């Protein structure tokens, strides 16, 4: 695990992908079974009270980027409602423990974001248990590679859009009813919105939609004192990649084409979500913060 607070060469801060990255799990995948295990800042993230007293929901909070965000939010002083699939319970309980060790409240809410009623209930649970919501971090996503459009089923296309776009709509709509001025929504796009891979047709399309949705919503709610922003990660080492997100044989070179020459780690994404949730970014809304290892974007 790298010390993010020490000046160092970012090209060697974490290891490059290699043969040990070549592995496969069934969807949705578990972080604790990956080799190497991604760094979500479990032993390194140090908070400074930037989110003291805040009430947050983080989707996909069991593993990967969502896990890193949930840990960072708690160590910055926020109570956190964790959303994840029931199959991810083992990873989620590790995060619950880390949040509680930080002295904050952790509310675990397993369920499927493709279900509108669950999304509404997730917001209601946060309001009931935490007394409100002022940070919504939409991180959960579905990514399954398909090499030919002829093999991309309507079922998968629908599931990818419901997980990545519809859930974001349902959650934002429900959360905004309870958000006060100073609240923030942070959505998750991808380098795929700018440099779409031919094998990620449905996923890349949703990530472009997330950018546009966020820029539109940001203008709609600005007068209410609520900000909406986006983080767009590049290739980051998470269960999404090993559970059908990429062909297994490509994982040994994962992230090697970025200017920094390696995949990112979830711990490197979390500070962007903290910044966009905190008052430090008070004059930033409708923006996409690209955290992609130096890959040019428009």
User: pLDDT tens, 93-132?
Assistant: 999 999 999 999 999 999 999 999 999 999 999 999 999 9
Alpha carbons 15 and 2: distance in angstroms, whole number: 10
- pLDDT for the residue 200: 98
Q: How far apart are the first and last CA of the chain?
A: 32
The whole-number average pLDDT for the span 248-259 is: 97
Q: What is the pTM of this model?
A: 0.98
State the average pLDDT for the chain: 97
Cα→Cα distances 56→201, 223, 237, 289, Å: 31, 22, 24, 20
Alpha carbons 59 and 30: distance in angstroms, whole number: 15
Alpha carbons 36 and 97: distance in angstroms, whole number: 21
The whole-number average pLDDT for the span 281-289 is: 98
CATH assignment, 48-290: 3.40.50.720
The whole-number average pLDDT for the span 43-50 is: 96
Alpha carbons 52 and 275: distance in angstroms, whole number: 13
Confidence of residue 4 (pLDDT cuts 50, 70, 90): confident
Active site residue 73: no
The whole-number average pLDDT for the span 241-260 is: 97
Phi/psi for 120 (5° steps) reads: -65, -40
Alpha carbons 259 and 226: distance in angstroms, whole number: 35
Q: Where are the domains of the chain?
A: 48-290
Checking if the pLDDT of 1 tops 80, the result is no
- pLDDT for the residue 298: 85
Axis crossing angle, helix 64-75 with helix 266-277, rounded to the nearest 10: 50
Alpha carbons 117 and 173: distance in angstroms, whole number: 12
Confidence of residue 9 (pLDDT cuts 50, 70, 90): very high
Cα 49 to its chain centre, rounded Å, is 21
The whole-number average pLDDT for the span 41-55 is: 97
Q: Are 262 and 14 in contact (CB under 8 A)?
A: yes
The active-site residue, picked from 14, 45, 166, 203, is 203
Element (H, E) at 106: strand 106-110
Annotate 264-284 with b (16+ C-beta within 10 A) or e (fewer).
Answer: bbbbbbbbbbbbbbbeebeee
- pLDDT for the residue 3: 85
Confidence of residue 187 (pLDDT cuts 50, 70, 90): very high
Burial class (CB in 10 A: 0-12, 13-18, 19+), 287: middle
Give the Cβ contact number of residue 52 at 10 Å.
11
Cα 150 to its chain centre, rounded Å, is 30
């Amino acid at each position: 695990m790298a010390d993010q607070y020490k000046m160092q060469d970012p090209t060697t801060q974490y290891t490059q992908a290699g043969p040990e990255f070549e592995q496969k799990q069934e969807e949705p995948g578990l972080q604790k079974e990956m080799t190497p295990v991604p760094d979500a800042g479990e032993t390194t993230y140090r908070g400074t009270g930037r989110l003291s007293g805040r009430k947050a929901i983080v989707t996909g909070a069991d593993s990967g980027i969502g896990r890193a965000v949930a840990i960072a939010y708690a160590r910055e002083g926020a109570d956190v409602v964790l959303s994840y699939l029931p199959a991810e319970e083992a990873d989620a309980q590790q995060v619950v423990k880390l949040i509680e060790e930080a002295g904050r409240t952790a509310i675990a809410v397993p369920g499927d974001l493709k279900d509108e009623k669950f999304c509404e209930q997730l917001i209601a649970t946060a309001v009931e248990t935490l007394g409100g919501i002022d940070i919504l971090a939409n991180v959960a996503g579905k990514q399954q590679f398909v090499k030919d459009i002829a093999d991309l089923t309507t079922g998968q296309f629908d599931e990818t859009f419901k997980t990545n776009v519809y859930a974001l709509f349902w959650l934002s709509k429900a959360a905004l009813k309870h958000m006060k001025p100073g609240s923030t929504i942070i959505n998750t796009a991808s380098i795929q919105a700018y440099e779409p891979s031919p094998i990620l047709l449905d996923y890349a399309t949703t990530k472009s939609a997330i950018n546009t949705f966020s820029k539109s919503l940001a203008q709609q709610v600005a007068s209410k004192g609520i900000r909406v922003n986006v983080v767009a990660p590049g290739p980051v080492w998470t269960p999404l990649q090993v559970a059908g997100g990429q062909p297994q044989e490509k994982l040994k070179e994962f992230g090697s084409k970025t200017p920094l020459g390696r995949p990112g780690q979830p711990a490197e994404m979390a500070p962007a979500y903290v910044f966009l949730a905190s008052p430090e970014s008070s004059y930033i809304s409708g923006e996409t913060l690209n955290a992609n290892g130096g890959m040019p974007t428009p």
